[in-house]
Structure 1
């Protein structure tokens, strides 16, 4: 079994005590962490240097648990930056729907591969991809194959709508569950346990009550996470009030979908009673601050949620509404958004934000026992961040430097399941340059295809 040693860095354990270890080390054995501690000055551990297969010197660097990107749409890497100044409803109709309908099967693999590379290189070892475009039979498999090949730990929430939304993106209830069955058969637990499937009804306004009820039962029967957009805009509250006389989260509860394995994405327009429901059912909120600002959707009540003991994890959202998936950048946006929204500079200190991105993310996916912190026995999902740069150093507190100074370009190395997948800022398992070249060629073709009907795709300045 391969043994690897990371030493000389500052270890942000994110354990129960939030222990920070200067001159720390992490010993990996296979896919698990064997030891974490401070490297002794008396030479008592020096023999270990000769007993391991690999030593990584992390001097001047931070060693942190892998970040969990709790919500994204990988296919949207092909759409980022097409148009930057639209509200959600227009953005969907004018950008997302036309592009997703025009994309071909290979495009979904390439787009997802770009997205996996981007996530790994910005510190995310775990992603929850909400994938809802099933225009070709191989779309889902292309996304999951990208996760497998890139080395990331990936969870696909198999999305679907059966009611409104863009008609060509609808599916019958029967098709949604049949196709999810096939994904479970083929992919659940694949790639040495790195790949998993979740139930992902896309949103409440695109899904019938019957589908939502069946989805809740399907998730419970198969032991799956349910991942769904909720209360992202005020219009979405109006929709469920008109149809059912219920607010968004009240409807989620009424159909039997609200529980410990439920991930409520965004949750911006929730009232006090709905926060009570989250608390009662021990559900998770996935907070995507950059997307919420980009689309001017609103500000989620994150500090109040945390005060109530509600689990809040972080996500980038898709590259169509971010426009990147820089997981370290999300940390700073999270802290700053809520300070200015509440006019309270004391809210969300750095260690709390890091906790949201690590421990809370692990809890969101039901993996708090083996992910989310650097402790013996846990999975070796580890990120090393370079701190000796002009925009970061000199340093007073490493937690502050990570949250407020660092960005994805500062990630030096990444381990997933004990495998080195990023080294010195480059992905190890895939040819980045070739993937980017192929992706750009496909996007150029996509723009030509769409520009006549949708002039925004032809704009180059």
Structure 2
């Protein structure tokens, strides 16, 4: 499709002025937004708008930039809901590690397909997938194929650990870097620029210092984002203090990994000095409030980060610790978590939450020049949300309704790169029903395989 007009809806541009057009329109040509403004337009000036190949009447709907899911683990769609009520370490040992080791290469592809569908249908046009299970060489390719086939904009952080951790998930250092280079050669810029590769050391407690130092040089030499779990639990702080005499972010700085292209995932247990480091190096934090509550990891210092000028983006985290990837749901959890934690209902107004989910995400990905807002010249990554639902309407303020009322089931239409990938709530690139049917059959076999050794997999209540 070369031209498209979306009109008559409420347009939240999320630009620097947070302009809102009620109603407004977007004129799209190929993969770019050409015009955005109030509707209706002067008949003579707007004659070209009515000659577009397709027109979408967005009356009663909100039109926003595509949300950016700054952190997930797509393979975990196969492991969500196996069991709740675990600490992070027990959850990894009893659920995630055995499940991921038992998964076959085809499982990673199917799990990622479902994960991409779920993200698109809940308003995320861009995902950062932290993929760290390499039991089969084809696993990573399967995740990237899923991104390509569903039409989503996907960034894969090639994860790995060389030291502690579950032995079957550990890799040799040479293999990690050789395979990351191979992914860059084959996948970087694929899908008309939709697919990108990042460096993703999984965490600090599973990596040696020489590996982290090499990862930092590798990313700098290739101009890559570095995406890493940092300070998710208090135990992780004790680990790096015991091993190196440094707190988590102090270690990230010491190995040369901290900079504008660094994404600090979680960052819950950072102290004042570490917040100063984030601001000094212009690194971004990926905040995952649902996962942090689900695993009782703690509450990140997001209001303080924002006050210090630190860029904060939002993520669902993997569906193993969420247990879904509803990107609209994350908005409400973000707002409510920090209000109740600080006993301050004035914190994080609705537009600030939306900024983190759009502009904040784009900045974290180094894409603020072409993503994150609805402006002329930006990529046509757009989400249309139906506001005429009993749990939303009547609407006083669209920004409030989006944050506190809407959920993924309200997403009507999604565009990525100017292509309609969700149309009236249905994915257009793939067959959802067939994928879910195949995935359920694979998961049923996986549970039967694991139930004898790991009783949690045998519970079917």
Structure-2 residue corresponding to 1:187: 187
| 1:45 CA displacement | 4.7
Q: Which digits, 9 at most, give the CA deviation of each residue in 1:397-416, with x for residues without a partner?
A: 00000000000000000000
In 1, Cα distance between the equivalents of 2:390 and 2:77? 30
Deviation >6 Å, runs of 4+:
none
In 2, Cα distance between the equivalents of 1:53 and 1:458? 53
Following superposition of structure 1 onto structure 2, how do residues 164-179 of structure 1 map, counting pairs within 5 Å? 164-179=164-179
Structure-2 residue corresponding to 1:5: 5
| 1:137 CA displacement | 1.0
SS of corresponding position for 2:436: helix
Task: Check whether the contact 1:328–1:408 (CA below 8 A) recurs between aligned residues.
Answer: yes
Structure-2 residue corresponding to 1:351: 351
SS of corresponding position for 2:320: helix
1:265 aligns with 2:287: no
Q: Which digits, 9 at most, give the CA deviation of each residue in 1:125-149, with x for residues without a partner?
A: 0000000000001000000000000
Structure-1 residue corresponding to 2:54: 54
Task: Check whether the contact 1:39–1:45 (CA below 8 A) recurs between aligned residues.
Answer: no
| 1:102 CA displacement | 0.1
In 2, Cα distance between the equivalents of 1:353 and 1:50? 34
In 1, Cα distance between the equivalents of 2:52 and 2:234? 56
In 2, Cα distance between the equivalents of 1:365 and 1:215? 18
In 2, Cα distance between the equivalents of 1:422 and 1:359? 22
In 2, Cα distance between the equivalents of 1:370 and 1:186? 24
Structure-1 residue corresponding to 2:132: 132
Structure-2 residue corresponding to 1:316: 316
Task: Check whether the contact 1:69–1:126 (CA below 8 A) recurs between aligned residues.
Answer: yes
In 1, Cα distance between the equivalents of 2:395 and 2:136? 50
In 1, Cα distance between the equivalents of 2:318 and 2:205? 19
| 1:23 CA displacement | 1.2
Structure-1 residue corresponding to 2:154: 154
| 1:47 CA displacement | 2.1
Task: Check whether the contact 1:350–1:400 (CA below 8 A) recurs between aligned residues.
Answer: yes
SS of corresponding position for 2:296: coil
In 2, Cα distance between the equivalents of 1:46 and 1:147? 36
Task: Check whether the contact 1:151–1:429 (CA below 8 A) recurs between aligned residues.
Answer: yes
Structure-1 residue corresponding to 2:197: 197
1:252 aligns with 2:281: no
TM-score normalised to structure 1 length: 0.99
Following superposition of structure 1 onto structure 2, how do residues 233-312 of structure 1 map, counting pairs within 5 Å? 233-312=233-312
TM-score normalised to structure 2 length: 0.99
1:404 aligns with 2:404: yes
SS of corresponding position for 1:319: coil
Structure-1 residue corresponding to 2:441: 441
| 1:353 CA displacement | 0.2
In 2, Cα distance between the equivalents of 1:42 and 1:229? 51
Following superposition of structure 1 onto structure 2, how do residues 58-97 of structure 1 map, counting pairs within 5 Å? 58-97=58-97
Unaligned runs of at least 5 residues, structure 1: none
Q: Which digits, 9 at most, give the CA deviation of each residue in 1:244-295, with x for residues without a partner?
A: 0000000000000000000000000000000000000000000000000000
| 1:41 CA displacement | 5.7
Task: Check whether the contact 2:27–2:49 (CA below 8 A) recurs between aligned residues.
Answer: no
SS of corresponding position for 2:8: strand
In 2, Cα distance between the equivalents of 1:454 and 1:119? 30
In 2, Cα distance between the equivalents of 1:49 and 1:371? 23
SS of corresponding position for 2:394: coil
In 2, Cα distance between the equivalents of 1:167 and 1:84? 24
Structure-1 residue corresponding to 2:223: 223
SS of corresponding position for 1:320: coil
Q: Which digits, 9 at most, give the CA deviation of each residue in 1:407-434, with x for residues without a partner?
A: 0000000000000000000100000000
In 2, Cα distance between the equivalents of 1:337 and 1:290? 9
Structure-1 residue corresponding to 2:26: 26
